[in-house]
Structure 1
């Protein structure tokens, strides 16, 4: 099996709703959060922080690709917190993909999951919370400052909207998500957006993505099939239709 999941289903959006622990067994994984590119190689692991936008893709090696993904959702963390205490410690990193200190304890933990596999890359449901608690104990013993990450249940604070949108417009998430991530209600987001960009969010996003696509195809000679998904379009036909409506030519015609 190429994946093992512990916890609730992982969102198909490019939005991380809960903290996600990733351990790469085989292959390579490349991640991007709008600010920085990250690379995870076999034997490495990281924590992807909640309430962030992130995109990642897998690269197979000669042995294929295999990962373990463990979700630390808020309900589980609150339940864990009832039975333990922690001392607040400073935590300065703002990165989405948090590097974790290397320790054999994590590798041994990953090995300990094997006897509990029930097929389709999942383990016995009865063991999910037991194993998640075991891993959380290891991580907090290793890096106590992570408690400030795991047990922060507040909503995102209000951010600079213009800066945030110009950095994250390529991510394919809803307007409601953008509102949440910039610390606003939906109505406040739309109002602030109109004041800054003099356009609705949906129209601005389409124009911004299409202008970037035009630049990449015309100036950088990129193929439409190589860029449409990374620019936030769900399928090639929708991208081509919107592109022609905006520029009078299809992406393929522009690239000839």
Structure 2
């Protein structure tokens, strides 16, 4: 069986494609390339490479097709599955302090061979039957832990995020389009504590500050870098171009495209 036979598939519970990573997942890229970003670093993944994407982190990525194709294998390592695995194999973990959303995994011939072994279990929808899903996930996890012992402290730490420096975190992550509730959770606070601390630090509400900070960055990119509005609004955290243009004109009195004409 060749690598060109690999189809895109997901193993495990369905996860949302939003920028907040709800559960850990293993990503194997069969065709194409991926550029990942987590506010700290950029990551490049090409065909035949793989990584772990961490839960309770923010991430976004852009994909590029190879010869008109893009194929990946995603294995969801959700909390319920990991807790059962930890109990079965008597695993305990320590806190793993790192801001990285993408974790590089040591190369092993066992991983591509595992991916190829999935082929007989695909159904027509590119999914693996629940009968075999947990068995194959356990097999993958045993392979990963054999060569990557640091993954124990990443995967089996089930504690919620600890309270962290709010000012530094928001200044790094303001471009991510997630809810205030998500920001509160990721900084180790209740929503009320988050809003209270935010007001003390920024003298503003989270919603208003986020819009203003994104618009300031947008102005810089338009005026100093010559970027087009259509190329930056998504990366700035705006859901559509019209919202960006409306908010920009309200703040600066001119449309984003006017900046480029100066």
Whether the TM-score (by the shorter chain) exceeds 0.5 is yes
Alpha-carbon distance, 1:194 to partner? 0.3
Q: What is the TM-score when the length of structure 1 is the normalising length? A: 0.95
Cα distance in structure 1, aligned partners of 2:96 and 2:20: 22
Query: What residue number does 1:64 align with?
Result: 69
Q: 2:135 aligns with which of 111, 130, 141?
A: 130
Q: Is the 8 A contact 1:19 1:48 kept in 2?
A: yes
Cα distance in structure 1, aligned partners of 2:93 and 2:7: 37
Higher mean C-alpha deviation, range 82-91 or range 161-170: 82-91
Query: What residue number does 1:182 align with?
Result: 187
Cα distance in structure 2, aligned partners of 1:222 and 1:189: 33
Post-superposition Cα deviations, 1:60-100, rounded to whole Å, max 9, x if no partner, equal: 12252111111101011111122112365796655221110
Query: What residue number does 2:56 align with?
Result: 51
Cα distance in structure 1, aligned partners of 2:225 and 2:44: 24
Cα distance in structure 1, aligned partners of 2:30 and 2:75: 14
Q: What is the TM-score when the length of structure 2 is the normalising length? A: 0.93
Cα distance in structure 1, aligned partners of 2:164 and 2:74: 29
Residues 1:166 and 2:167 are matched in the alignment: no
Cα distance in structure 2, aligned partners of 1:176 and 1:9: 22
Q: 1:157 aligns with which of 158, 162, 173?
A: 162
Q: Is the 8 A contact 1:26 1:61 kept in 2?
A: yes
Alpha-carbon distance, 1:243 to partner? 1.1
Q: 1:88 to 1:191 in 2, by over 3 A?
A: closer
Post-superposition Cα deviations, 1:204-249, rounded to whole Å, max 9, x if no partner, equal: 0000001111111111110000000000011111111111111111
Query: What residue number does 1:83 align with?
Result: 88
Q: 1:18 to 1:228 in 2, by over 3 A?
A: same
Residues 1:236 and 2:241 are matched in the alignment: yes
Cα distance in structure 2, aligned partners of 1:184 and 1:93: 19
Structure 1 residue ranges (4+ consecutive) displaced by more than 4 angstroms after TM superposition: 87-94
Q: 2:100 aligns with which of 95, 104, 114?
A: 95
Residues 1:202 and 2:207 are matched in the alignment: yes
Q: Is the 8 A contact 2:33 2:64 kept in 1?
A: yes
The number of residues matched between the two structures is 256
